[in-house]
Chain A
Amino acid sequence: MGTESIQFHRDADRLTHDLRHRGLIQKALGGYYVKRDEQKAKYTDWQEARTSAAAAKYEAVNHLDKYLLELTEKLEARGTKVFWAADGAEAAEYISSVARNAGVKRIIKSKTMTGEEIHLGPALEKAGLEVVESDLGEFIVQLREEPPYHIVFPSMHLTRGEIDETFQKKLGSPHADTPEELTMIARGVMRQKYCQADMGMSGANFAVAETGHISITENEGNARLSTTLPKVLVSIVGIEKVIPKLEDLAVLLPMLATAGAGQNMTCYNTLLGGPRQPGETDGPTEFHVVLLDNKRTSLLADAEQRDALHCIRCGACLNVCPIFKNIGGHSYGTTYQGPIGSVITPHLRGLQSWKHLSFSSSLCGACHEACPVRIDLHHHLLQNRRNAIAEKSVWWEKPIFAGFAWFMRRPALYRLAAPMLRLGAPVLHAIRGKFFDPARMWTGTRDLPPAPPQSFKEYWRKRNG
């Protein structure tokens, strides 16, 4: 096993037995299920809406070159600078050079998972820039020097007590009891940061090719402030975020809100198509859009799993996943957690190092059913398993299955083995999962069914005899 896999199994084991952690997650998600179902029920037809949303993304992803060029042309027409970055290093280098050229010292950032993916914050800090996260949940985990726990709810694993402690220690704030008070502390800190920052940074949820806009979805208003007040704005956009038409948003925005947080619509959905235009009195004077590949084209090349690029990062598949609910977000060790993370991480960061995530699944299909853009998630997990084995097989698996097949095809041998197995059962139970058990990796976490007093064949013989 690789280090990623060892760490995953260790963390997953620890958190699965952590009842406090489980309680927190179940409480947080319980509220989500109620709101999501209420909201879904308002749709004329949620299933058809899913198909429509998937169709828009299918069209975009399968004509990606065309729509990216259209997006670039339209963005540039309004004075936006578009930079194409093959990987995270290129993106970070470009953004640092933008900051250098504009004499930027302080950056205010609004939550971007694409930025997380390429560790943009630390890269810019290394270049001597102050980077402050403005999304409340993300700000909290940044203060705690933790990665986000969930792609939509970064701090869902923390209690108000823990957050209060973090604020007291890192911000020197007075003790606060309620989420309201804690939020207001963060608001106060952030207000100054918005006004001081000379560069804003954001991600994007969608990019509209037809009109040349990026679209940012958020509840707090931090993205609007980060993209409005500082004089320079840089938005980092994964190439798969492009959609063909403005009207596609009429379906995608409500569905993102419903699937992601059980909302009718997220509080702020903002379209940005350029820096401050003639006649405008505010907004950034410089606007850069960084289009990031970072192995998305490898996923695109896998036609079977290409629909994983439809993902709108709503987090719905995490919220319903029995694995996520037990092991939590941090155990994955990835930027993207849950089923979608298990599907795409092997493509983005190497199949052999991350294949274990595809094996950690019950294949129940809840993720596929929850997905607002109909990504065939649980089948992709199976395909990752198949691909991983085809690429690098486990040497002892083939002989074991060949031996099993040989044995099962010989009834005489089977008849002989059954009573022996019954005799040996107490021994097997005694050593199950322990040091002497050669199969302990499998049996250690699974029950061995008790041996029946007689086999069916024996029963049948007696009944008729």
Chain B
Amino acid sequence: MDSREKILRRIREALSVKAPARHLDHGQTGSMGVPPVNGAARSVGDGSLQTGGTPVLPDGCAVAHSPTDWLPPVPENNDGRVSLFEKNSADLKTEVRHCADAAAVASELALLARENGWKSVASHSFEMGNAAVQSLGLPVVRTDREYQTSDLEKCAAGISGCDCLVAQTGGIMVTAASAGGRALSVLPPHHIVIASRSQLVGDLADAFALLRKAHNGVPAFVSFITGPSRTGDIERILVLGAHGPKKLTVLVLEN
């Protein structure tokens, strides 16, 4: 018998005994699994587990909730989401710059190039970035066609698009298709994301929904980037740029 069958057999044997769904007791179960005398009786069934705890309102009617309802709240409107994204970005040390139009994106990018003294950049073909990257007049390593890792490693900045920006976490969702492959957004020391205001979504669940819709099935590479690379491994003191980018800049196109 191979290990796969052996493991599956052990699992099925083990699962023939049902485990108590103790998380539904909200920790009120007494020692050794004995329910407390005054513990609230809660229904235990596979159907009710998916939504987690269902709160009971004062008038006694239960309301079905999605598990993500318990996470930090997210505004419904786009403006609120943009400002929440900005606030989270500030905490994460992600730089957010607003650009009124495509021309502003190009000038903002040129400004970044001057400020940071870029000698070469890496990028891929994407609508919002093409013109701006070209107007830099710097050598460009393209990662959406065959490229050498060593060439990408030498670039001062990686400029990419993304699938969406996540307001709740201050994160950026990238896939190989939206961000020029798997390495562009993590190997160069400065990552610049160009996104439009309409790409703001509320939370991770929204991002997943978008992922399913935009791609033909969830792609093989998806990453949520939440701030520049960081570590606290030495005396729990925050240092940016542990292995990935030291700087992360998001250019938000207003329309």
Contact = CB atoms under 8 A, between A and B. Distances in A.
Contacts of A261: 232
Interface residues of B, number: 96
Contact of A51 (B24, B29, B88, B223): B24
A220 B244 CA distance: 6
Contacts of B22: 307, 374, 376
A293 to B, nearest CB: 5
A65 B15 contact: yes
Given A44-B69, A62-B19, A195-B153, A183 B27 contact: no
B53 A52 contact: yes
Nearest to B236: A28
A274 B70 contact: no
Contacts of B144: 281
Nearest to A246: B208
Interface in A168-182: 179-180, 182
Contact of A55 (B52, B92, B203, B234): B52
Nearest to A374: B23
Contacts of B70: 43-46, 48-49, 52, 251
Interface string A411-451: 00000000000000000000000000000000000000000
A331 B74 CA distance: 43
Contacts, number: 324
A369 B23 CA distance: 11
Interface stretch (B1-9, B113-121, B126-134): B1-9
B149 A229 contact: yes
A225 B186 contact: yes
A44 B71 contact: yes
A209 interface: no
B245 interface: yes
A270 B222 contact: yes
A239 B212 CA distance: 26
B32 interface: yes
Contacts of B46: 59
Contacts of A153: 232-233, 236
A376 B11 contact: no
A5 interface: no
A55 B144 CA distance: 41
Interface stretch (A119-127, A156-164, A392-400): A156-164
A37 interface: no
A363 to B, nearest CB: 9
Interface stretch (A132-140, A351-359, A452-460): A132-140
Interface in A218-273: 219-222, 224-225, 228-229, 239, 246-251, 253-254, 261, 264-273
Nearest to B29: A376
Interface string B41-58: 000001001111101000
A265 B23 contact: no
B236 A156 contact: yes
Given A154-B233, A269-B224, A382-B32, A187 B241 contact: yes
A159 B235 CA distance: 6
B204 A253 contact: yes
CB-CB nearest 9 A-B residue pairs = A221-B244, A52-B52, A54-B23, A52-B67, A137-B233, A220-B242, A49-B70, A179-B234, A274-B220
22 contacts: A43-B71, A43-B72, A44-B70, A46-B70, A49-B70, A51-B23, A52-B67, A54-B23, A68-B8, A140-B233, A155-B233, A183-B233, A219-B229, A222-B244, A224-B186, A251-B68, A264-B72, A264-B91, A265-B170, A273-B220, A301-B13, A307-B22
